[in-house]
Amino acid sequence: MSPPSPQPTVLPTPAPTLVRTAITTSNINVAVGDWVFDSASAIIVYGDVSNWDVSAVTTLQNTFLGATAFNDDISAWDTSSVTSLHDTFKGADAFNVDIRGWDTGAVVVFWATFYNQQAFNQDISCWDTSAATVMDSTFYGNPVFNFDLSGWNVVSVTNFVNTFGNAAAFNQVLCWDTAGATTTSMFVGSFGSTNSVAANCACLAGEYYDGSTCAVCPYGSGSSGKTESCPCVDFSPSPTLAPSSLPTPQPTALPTLAPTLQPLPKPSPLPTLVSAQDACLDISS
């Protein structure tokens, strides 16, 4: 009887590779809308919102407009290409995530960024605003925000209309020089003001005002200057210690030891030689 034929091994079918939709300038607002409406479905298409690669996105205008319940962690977003934060969080009433690490160096428009936003009160004094020209209504109607933004670079801003209008909690004295800019109703309904010659205004980036003088921020922290704290994370390497000016120590020369003389061993005694005559036995009797 012949043995049965071996059956072929059935290999499991590999799971299909999941290809997610890339986030771009043209689809980011749709993607956020999908996430807010049904995050379980959106995560399949785009991945988790916290990990979206938004490095190619050039505008976040209206991105979270009216997303009243949104409060997911988007602190790791790469916003280095973004040029507009117009109405970005307008009406996103629950949002209060620490986004101090966002790269805003290319942002030109901060128009109504947190307009009527009810919860946001995070320290964003480290943001780079050197490219900004418009801050119209940036915090208008936000009832809780109250951080010192004196270190923001506003030298190119020409529009401060209603920047802190009706921001009821805001009471900071900013070091901003707004000469030549439009400042209509800049602080109406709030307790904020500007004073570009206050003592803390002399503090540079990486320093803070300790109540009497400008002090250097502790290692690992930093500031954009002109504030009384160091909320920024400093990723610069630790300071390198200067080489010592002391002379290089020379090796100590040890004296050469004289060789120790060992006594020669005593020669072994030679055996007594017996003459052949003595060795002959007298066997005569």
pLDDT digits (tens, 9 = 90+) for 3-37: 777 777 777 776 666 789 999 999 999 999 999 99
Q: What angle is formed at CA 36 by the lines to CA 94 and CA 99, rounded to 5 degrees?
A: 50
Interatomic CA distance for residues 272 and 275, integer angstroms: 10
Per the rule left: phi > 0, alpha: psi between -120 and 50, beta: everything else, 103 is beta
pLDDT, position 82: 98
Q: Which residues on adjacent β-strands are paired with residue 84?
A: 59, 109
pLDDT, position 165: 98
Other Cβ atoms closer than 10 A to 187: 21
Look-up of token digits 């090796």: 251
pTM: 0.76
Report which of 159, 134, 130 is spatially closest to residue 61, judged by C-alpha positions: 134
Interatomic CA distance for residues 198 and 201, integer angstroms: 5
Interatomic CA distance for residues 282 and 265, integer angstroms: 42
Interatomic CA distance for residues 149 and 124, integer angstroms: 8
The CA dihedral of 92, 93, 94, 98, to the nearest 10 degrees, is 70
Interatomic CA distance for residues 50 and 71, integer angstroms: 11
pLDDT, position 272: 56
Low-confidence ranges of the chain (pLDDT < 70): 1, 14-17, 234-249, 251-285
Residue 118, SS3?
A: coil
DSSP per residue over 224-235, as a string? SSSSSS--EE--
Interatomic CA distance for residues 225 and 203, integer angstroms: 5
Interatomic CA distance for residues 61 and 227, integer angstroms: 29
Interatomic CA distance for residues 124 and 210, integer angstroms: 20
**Assigned token pair, 45:** 């298409």
Interatomic CA distance for residues 202 and 226, integer angstroms: 6
pLDDT, position 10: 75
